[in-house]
Structures are given as C-alpha cells and as structure tokens.
C-alpha cells in the first residue's frame, strides 16, 4: 500500500510539473508578444519630426532612425553636428519659404556618418547640403527629388557622399566646395540627372562592384574608378583626368581631361574590363588608353548599326600606348 501511495504521488508530481512547464511556455510566449508589441509601439511613438530653425541638431535630438528632418519657414541655415555620434533618419524634406543651407559638421577624429534611409526632397525653396572641412560620410538610401527648385550637395576634401540601397534617381547637383574636393560612391543602382563637378570638380567618383551609375548630365572629376563588375554609363560630356576601369564603361559623349585642354587617361585595369564607345553622332575622344597588363581589356566601337565600320568616332590620343595592346576584341 505504501509503495502504491508513493507511486501515485510521484505520478501526480510529474503530471503537475508537465502541466506547469506547458503553461509556463504558453505564458512566456504571451509575454514575449505583449512585450514586443509594446516595445515596437514605443519605438514608433518615439519617432519624431525634427524641425531645424537656424540651430544645430545632434544625435540627442535626432535619436531614432524613423525620425524625419524638416525646416521651419523662417530658417535659412541649419547644422547637423556629428561630434557626439552618428545620426540616422528616415528623410529630409525642404518645403519652406526660404532657401536652406544645411551644414554637416564633425570635429571627432573618426569618420562620422549621416544616414538617410529614405528620400531627400525639396519644393518651394532650394536646399543645399554641405560639409565643413571634416571627416563626414553622408549615406543616402532613397531618391533625391527637386520640384521646381534646386537641391545641391557641396563636399569638402575629406567628405564622402554615398548612394546606397536599391534602384534610385538622383535629381540634384553635386560639387566640390573647391576644385578637386569630395568623393562620391555609387553603392546601388543609380541614375544621376544633374551635373557632377560642374562648378568645382570632384576629387574621386567610385562605382562599386555589381552596381551601376548612369550619368545623364556632364561629369567632371580628377579621377573615376569602376570596381569589380561595376558599370558606368555616360550620356553627356565627361571631363576626367584618370579613369581606372575594372568593370564596364559605356560612353555616348565626348571625353576630355578635366581642364578640357588635354587627353584623359583610361586604364584598363583587369582582364574583364570593357570600354564601349557608343556615340550616335560625330564624337571625338581625347584619350590615351592603356592596360595595366599586356593583352587585358576589350574596346568596342559600336556607333554604327549592323556591325558596319564606325563612322562617328575619332580619337585624339593613343590606344595601347607603350606597346600595351589593351583590346581582345574590337568592332570598328
């Protein structure tokens, strides 16, 4: 009898523990859902519209990636200070009555980042975003859209402007603060509708591997590089001193050096680099084309239909200078 009582007690205890374990898991799941919902709601509620009114804002003011940055009607200047840390926001919108100049500053030693995951827009009044002789990187994940007004980016010598994310359209002017200042990185699939380096030419333009940049307006820079399988397509005048091509470059416009007084240097820097001359009208290319290694690179002249001889393209420089024949195939 004693053994039966003990066995019954043990079984009851095991059964109770099993039920408690099941209920505990259930209650824990309910708690997690409630906590997650509450915390998510808290984060959403914490997102704010941060208005700049001629003053400086820091990560303390813009403390949520869902924050949006706007400008008051009376403001014409503003500042984002990155000394205390990186700033991330969802968008920048200029829709006030006065033109706005927004300066991004950073006095800290490492590179600080201003990251806008969404769009930069301007209507009613112009918007200029500039850096101030400091180590700043501006990362833009969305479109840049201007509506009857101008959006401009002005970069100092150490500043980097990176277009990240997926397919996007950039409807804004990009310049150096002075000549040979500012680096622009294309890290997504990007179409640029406005001039780059038209007032003060840029220092460097990079197109990342597997990414592309389509330039619909003039481009002026000291250097331009395609990395890996990066693509650069030019539909307007190109003024660049040195182009280092590891991917594919297609040109349907004139090419010259930045000062427009000599030849641009194009370096075919890999065995898979391709250079397409694809002009539909009479064009002259002031270029010297070389390869880093003998026999590397492909040059295609495809300015006529049905593989006919090229009729629109003339070159004012050398191809395969110093004995380096840098094409494996040519259509001309």
User: What DSSP designation does 125 have?
Assistant: S
Contact 194, 174 (CB under 8 A): yes
Would you list the domain boundaries of the chain? 1-38, 57-323
**Two structure tokens written together for 133:** 């002789």
- CB-CB contact of 277 with 245 (8 Å): no
**pLDDT for residue 42:** 39
Residues 6+ apart with CB under 8 A from 45: none
Q: What local confidence, expressed as pLDDT, does residue 218 receive?
A: 98
CA end-to-end span of the chain: 105
Please calculate the CA angle 314-316-321 and round it to the nearest 5 degrees. Answer: 110
Residue 13 pLDDT: 45
Alpha helices in the chain (DSSP H): 2-46
C-alpha 279, offset from chain centre? 27
Among 93-102, 172-181, 272-281, 321-330, the minimum mean pLDDT is found in 321-330
- Residue 248 host element (H or E): strand 248-251
Q: What is the per-residue pLDDT for 1?
A: 45
**pLDDT tens digits along 285-307:** 889 999 999 888 999 887 655 55
What sign results for the dihedral spanned by CA atoms 278, 239, 119, 36? positive
CA gap 185, 162 in Å, rounded: 5
What's the rounded Cα separation, in Å, for the pair 44 and 61? 16
Global confidence as pTM: 0.82
**Does the pLDDT at position 166 exceed 50?**
yes
Q: How many CB atoms lie within 10 A of CB 47?
A: 15
For the chain, percent of residues with pLDDT exceeding 90: 62
User: Taking Cα atoms as reference points, which of 161, 208, 172, 163 lies closest to residue 190?
Assistant: 163
Lowest mean pLDDT among 40-49, 91-100, 248-257: 40-49
Q: In which band, very low, low, confident or very high, does the pLDDT at 139 lie, cut at 50, 70 and 90?
A: very high
């Amino acid at each position: 009898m004693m053994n039966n009582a003990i066995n019954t007690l043990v079984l009851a205890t095991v059964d109770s523990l099993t039920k408690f374990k099941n209920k505990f898991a259930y209650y824990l799941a309910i708690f997690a859902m409630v906590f997650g919902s509450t915390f998510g709601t808290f984060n959403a509620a914490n997102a704010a519209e941060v208005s700049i009114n001629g003053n400086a804002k820091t990560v303390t003011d813009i403390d949520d990636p869902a924050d949006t940055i706007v400008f008051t009607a009376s403001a014409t200047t503003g500042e984002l200070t990155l000394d205390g840390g990186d700033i991330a926001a969802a968008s920048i919108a200029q829709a006030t009555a006065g033109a706005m100049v927004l300066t991004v500053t950073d006095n800290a030693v490492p590179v600080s980042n201003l990251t806008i995951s969404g769009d930069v827009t301007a209507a009613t009044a112009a918007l200029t975003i500039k850096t101030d002789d400091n180590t700043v990187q501006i990362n833009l994940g969305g479109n840049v859209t201007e509506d009857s007004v101008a959006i401009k980016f002005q970069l100092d010598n150490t500043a980097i402007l990176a277009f990240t994310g997926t397919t996007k359209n950039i409807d804004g002017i990009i310049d150096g603060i002075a000549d040979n200042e500012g680096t622009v990185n294309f890290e997504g699939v990007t179409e640029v509708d406005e001039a780059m380096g038209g007032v003060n030419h840029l220092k460097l333009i990079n197109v990342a591997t597997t990414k592309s940049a389509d330039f619909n307006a003039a481009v002026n820079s000291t250097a331009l590089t395609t990395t890996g399988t990066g693509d650069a397509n030019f539909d307007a005048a190109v003024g660049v001193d040195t182009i280092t091509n590891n991917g594919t470059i297609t040109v349907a416009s004139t090419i010259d050096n930045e000062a427009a007084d000599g030849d641009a240097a194009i370096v075919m820097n890999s065995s898979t680099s391709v250079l397409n001359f694809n002009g539909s009208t009479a064009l002259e290319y002031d270029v010297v084309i070389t390869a880093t290694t003998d026999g590397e690179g492909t040059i295609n002249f495809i300015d006529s239909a049905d593989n006919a001889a090229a009729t629109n393209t003339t070159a004012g420089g050398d191809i395969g200078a110093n004995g380096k024949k840098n094409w494996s195939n040519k259509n001309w």
